[in-house]
Amino acid sequence: MLNNKADFIVEYYEKTKTFLKKDEVSRPESRVLFVASSFTVHQRNAINFKDLPIELREAKKYQGELYNIQQIKASDKTESVKTISKDDTVSKVAKEIKQYSVDDHIKKHWTDTHALYQDLQEKIFNIDDRFDESPQKYYI
């Protein structure tokens, strides 16, 4: 998608019959989503890099057309993929893709806002441990 935005837009139109403008495609927030019945250990470890935009979903089919699709959560997104790979393609992807954080939305000097956010965050996570925080470009 980094090098073939036009091809992506044509493919999108062919699949959905909906027009998409070039400026509506946001490469910094693009993700690769893999759906399978199971994943190897290496595939599961690939989602642990903070600057590699990969998500995994495990899909199970049950009797009666019932499905369960479960997101595989990263254990700890702290290491950069750049530390283990010197590949030019990996470097290009890492430059294009932006992983957003809470700090991108709540500035350091907003002490009252940060305190309110932490209070709200704690209350939400206490409701159910399945909640997840996922900062995006315009929202969390």
Q: How confident is the model at residue 120 (pLDDT cuts 50, 70, 90)?
A: very high
Whether the per-residue pLDDT at 35 is higher than 90: the answer is yes
Q: What is the pLDDT of residue 84?
A: 63
Q: What is the pLDDT of residue 73?
A: 84
Q: How confident is the model at residue 82 (pLDDT cuts 50, 70, 90)?
A: low
Q: What is the pLDDT of residue 95?
A: 67
Whether the per-residue pLDDT at 125 is higher than 80: the answer is yes
Average pLDDT, the chain: 81
Q: What is the pLDDT of residue 135?
A: 83
Q: What's the rounded Cα separation, in Å, for the pair 121 and 80?
A: 26
pTM over 0.75: no
Q: What is the pLDDT of residue 134?
A: 80
Contact 11, 19 (CB under 8 A): no
Residue with tokens 């893709």: 97
Give the contacts of 68 (CB within 8 A, at least 6 positions apart): 59, 60, 62
- Rounded to 5 degrees, what angle do the CA atoms 125, 134, 42 make? 105
Mean per-residue pLDDT for 45-67? 85
User: pLDDT: is 28 or 126 the higher one?
Assistant: 126
3-state secondary structure of 79: strand
